[in-house]
Structure 1
């Protein structure tokens, strides 16, 4: 998101007046937009749960762009492994 200079999801959520928790962090790597489909599918998950956060039981996970579904599905699994019981997903663009 730093390269884009704006977190679209965070901006939308704040503009809508919703509260949110930033539960995940991302390791630096080559942007997904510069990878082809097979490279995206083979990429290891660059996200991890932030230390010291409490994982809610119910989560609405929002991603800006759904390309292969790999990112949002891996993030969902990561949150479930961290204790979330009900994770719903939503993408702004597909």
Structure 2
């Protein structure tokens, strides 16, 4: 039987994402694997873990910063209607 090629996950542009959040003035801190890597860990991670301030103003900035990336609900069926705003 022929071997199927191994699926390689898409690589997120963490630096670009963090720059967009910073440029928008989003108050947040980096935690998790990427934070550990920034401190010298050799751990590889494929996601970005952030904790953000939950003030209404900061949530509005977060929504505006991420809107160009077309966020979606993880695990939801493709095409499921989803409103991206400060309430969701």
Which one has a bigger Cα radius of gyration?
A: 2
Point out the structure with the larger strand share: 1
- When the two structures are superposed, what TM-score results if normalisation uses the length of structure 1? 0.28
- When the two structures are superposed, what TM-score results if normalisation uses the length of structure 2? 0.29
